[in-house]
Structure 1
Amino acid sequence: MTQDFNIQEYMTKGVERVVADAIRATLKNPKESAFMAKFAVASKAASKKRAAKEENGEHVPPFLIASITSACNLHCAGCYSRCNSATEDSEPVNQLTDDEWKNIFDEADDLGVSFILLAGGEPLLRKGVIEAAAKKPSILFPIFTNGTYMTEKYFEDFDKNRNLVPIMSIEGEKEATDHRRGEGVYDKLISNMDELKKRGIIFGASVTVTTENIKEVSSESFISMLSEKGCKAIIFVEFVPVDEGSEHLAPDDEDREYLKGEIMRLRKEHEEMVFVSFPGDEKTSGGCIAAGRGFFHINSHGGAEPCPFSPYSDINVRDTSLREAMKSKLFLDLQAGDVLMDDHKGGCVLYEKRKQVEELL
């Protein structure tokens, strides 16, 4: 890590920018803008908590990724979670209970975590966990969902609890989405968007960027379509090849430069939306922000991992506190070493350098 790079300052400014963008994106929606204004106050208070801990030598990341279930009804082509055996069809066993997740959310709130991304599997299968998240208005919970389980009950929950933000996975237009996710998925997503817009509920889209869809998903026609449907946030996630034969789908340096330029353009031309790229340009953040630098991942069984793409753990939140999990030996070794800063080909340095991560274990 470079001497003059301050990860706490970088992440705090990043959070402030996302919140400011979200407030701007919801100005024409009184209910949403009122919530975002309150959340902005809570986010600043959380930043102060983290800064106070940083002064005492304790780093708390503002983001947490929580995979609250390993069950999923879809078989998306190249899914990293299935390839890592983190997602399955059978009834999950030995997963964290609703109460255990509630305790994690409580402690995260006390520590100053501002965002908890709920993932899976398919997170909407865990209604009890979603209800626990709804009770923490000072934390924003983007819910990364395939959209197929969005029912009237969930529409009502999202309306009542504005800290729950559905982020629906879409791969581009109908052909590209149904090709990767299954027939009929695109139409269900469009139906969900229409219902969310009708109720004035903020929502976002998560796009897995591959060499095949990069031009389509950053095109004006696709972005304008999402904007007209009421989408307020788009998260571009670079495809990570976790199974043999899919390496050609991973964006290379030229593709990443193209996407970076398109995102800069979109931010100027579509101020009604928030655009986030993951992992984006890691050079500006002093390297990868996983392993507790900017975020870390808790899997459905409680294992604290550097990242969903790096499913290695030496500590479980069932046996310790969230605070102690952040100080796991694996995380500290990764932060102190060169792995997170290394140059790499694909979208995830930790996946590409997985042998080095395994050696640290």
Structure 2
Amino acid sequence: MANDFDIQEYMTKGVERVVADAIKATLKNPKESAYMAKFALASKAASQKRASLEKAGEHIPPFLIASITSSCNLHCAGCYSRCNNATEDTEPIRQLSDEDWLKVFDEAEDLGVSFILLAGGEPLLRKGVIEAAGKKQNILFPIFTNGTYMADKYFDMFDKNRNLVPIMSIEGEKEATDNRRGEGVYDKLVSNMDELNKRGLIYGSSVTVTTENLKDVSSEKFISMLSDKGCKAVIFVEFVPVTDESRHLAPGDDDREYLKKEIARLRVEHPEMVFVSFPGDEKSSGGCIAAGRGFFHINSHGGAEPCPFSPYSDINVKDTSLREAINSKLFKALQSEGVLLDDHDGGCVLYEKRKEVEALLGNAV
């Protein structure tokens, strides 16, 4: 039963598995494996800190997603962030400053958060925030980037700060990637991979999984290509439709089951790589892990949201602490009302139940 599910235990074991896989994936790279061994100890200490707070009745998620800018230079087909008007071409006003983000990172470390996923927009547009993240060596920062701003200044920064791990978005092979992201993007990504590999830097790839590319992006051909270029992590992100016109691209139950089996196979056949699926099979995690159960999202202006696909907020970290944001009225309502555990067609429950989320938000503010 969902009520018997221990989210703290599930997430702790998940973190331990990711860290253990990452150590295995970097065994042939002394500099990387040395950092990952140190991070493993920090992650264990953070886990104990969260467990202690859990016993005291306060649940702290191990993950945080931070969209550090709402500006982006690409116009990827079907981008949820643009469809939600969360991403713009121009430099946004009133977004969190570099100092604001460092304060968030400091508070996250104090609470025992182990992973902060940096997203956008395009996060490499905020060099100051990336530098601030580099100072927090006890937190691992996967940086979800389109890769077009990768240059020597970033390669040097990633070399100096091994807790900064670029995760470059790719849609499969050249045609599929350029069709969605723009001409020339694939070649730039391959060039980045070659440079990162040459420098012995750990990096990963993020793949938006649709009904059209599912079999290609989980194929041996594609994964072997990434492995040969030194890629150490592949994060499969299921496409979430934000318009009815794109609904057919969202993976269904059969597609999700296929991906689950392929990931299990890939983990055996490619021990040199880490494979993660998001949101993955919510049944195995006792329901959706957003809204503070396993993670939550801070947008570029400081609003604490259930997740990037559910852009609703009743509290802002500019005005309050991260700890208070985790305990926002909206998050508590989503958890207590059972929306996160609701049956749904698959994929993102919060997107599918957005009318209920909006109603709860109205009651929370």
TM range (shorter): over 0.9
Of 110-119 and 341-350, the range deviating more from structure 2: 341-350
Q: Which residue of 1 aligns with 2:98?
A: 98
Q: Which residue of 2 aligns with 1:70?
A: 70
1:76 is matched by which residue type in structure 2? C
C-alpha contact (below 8 Å) 2:234/2:273 kept by paired residues = yes
C-alpha contact (below 8 Å) 1:240/1:346 kept by paired residues = no
Equivalence map 1:322-361=2 (5 Å): 322-361=322-361
Question: How far has the Cα of 1:346 moved from its partner?
Answer: 4.0
Distance 2:25 2:177 in 1: 26
Equivalence map 1:202-217=2 (5 Å): 202-217=202-217
Q: Which residue of 2 aligns with 1:305?
A: 305
* 1:27 paired to 2:58: no
Question: How far has the Cα of 1:10 moved from its partner?
Answer: 0.6
Q: Deviations over 1:164-187 (max 9, x none)?
A: 000000000000000000000000
1:144 counterpart SS class: strand
C-alpha contact (below 8 Å) 1:35/1:162 kept by paired residues = yes
Question: How far has the Cα of 1:3 moved from its partner?
Answer: 3.3
Q: Which residue of 2 aligns with 1:291?
A: 291
Q: Which residue of 1 aligns with 2:145?
A: 145
Question: How far has the Cα of 1:39 moved from its partner?
Answer: 0.1
1:176 counterpart SS class: helix
2:265 counterpart SS class: helix
- Size of the aligned set, in residue pairs, is 361
Q: Deviations over 1:104-158 (max 9, x none)?
A: 0000000000000000000000000000000000000000000000010000000
Q: Which residue of 1 aligns with 2:245?
A: 245
C-alpha contact (below 8 Å) 1:309/1:350 kept by paired residues = yes
Structure 2 spans left out of the alignment, 5+ residues: none
1:245 counterpart SS class: helix
2:86 counterpart SS class: coil
2:278 is matched by which residue type in structure 1? F
2:12 is matched by which residue type in structure 1? T
1:216 is matched by which residue type in structure 2? D
Normalised by the length of structure 1, the TM-score is 0.99
C-alpha contact (below 8 Å) 1:70/1:300 kept by paired residues = yes
Distance 1:139 1:230 in 2: 23
Equivalence map 1:51-130=2 (5 Å): 51-130=51-130
C-alpha contact (below 8 Å) 2:2/2:287 kept by paired residues = no
* 1:136 paired to 2:136: yes
Question: How far has the Cα of 1:2 moved from its partner?
Answer: 2.3
C-alpha contact (below 8 Å) 2:208/2:238 kept by paired residues = yes
* 1:185 paired to 2:185: yes
1:142 is matched by which residue type in structure 2? P
Distance 2:312 2:113 in 1: 22
1:259 is matched by which residue type in structure 2? L
Q: Which residue of 2 aligns with 1:278?
A: 278
2:159 counterpart SS class: helix
Question: How far has the Cα of 1:17 moved from its partner?
Answer: 0.3
Distance 1:143 1:90 in 2: 21
Distance 1:110 1:67 in 2: 20
Distance 1:237 1:2 in 2: 24
Question: How far has the Cα of 1:244 moved from its partner?
Answer: 2.9
1:3 counterpart SS class: helix
2:65 counterpart SS class: strand
Question: How far has the Cα of 1:342 moved from its partner?
Answer: 1.5
C-alpha contact (below 8 Å) 2:70/2:122 kept by paired residues = yes
Question: How far has the Cα of 1:349 moved from its partner?
Answer: 0.6
Distance 2:77 2:243 in 1: 10
Q: Deviations over 1:250-291 (max 9, x none)?
A: 001110011111001001100000000001111111000000
Equivalence map 1:169-180=2 (5 Å): 169-180=169-180
Of 340-349 and 270-279, the range deviating more from structure 2: 340-349
1:202 is matched by which residue type in structure 2? I
Structure 1 spans left out of the alignment, 5+ residues: none
Distance 1:358 1:316 in 2: 17
Normalised by the length of structure 2, the TM-score is 0.98
Question: How far has the Cα of 1:90 moved from its partner?
Answer: 1.4
Distance 1:134 1:304 in 2: 23
1:60 counterpart SS class: coil
* 1:11 paired to 2:17: no
Q: RMSD of the alignment, in Å? A: 0.7
C-alpha contact (below 8 Å) 1:62/1:115 kept by paired residues = yes
1:109 is matched by which residue type in structure 2? E
Q: Deviations over 1:31-75 (max 9, x none)?
A: 000000000000000001100100000000000000000000000
Q: Which residue of 1 aligns with 2:318?
A: 318
Distance 1:306 1:216 in 2: 31
C-alpha contact (below 8 Å) 1:238/1:347 kept by paired residues = yes
Distance 1:328 1:68 in 2: 20
Distance 1:87 1:243 in 2: 16
Distance 1:85 1:70 in 2: 9
1:356 is matched by which residue type in structure 2? E
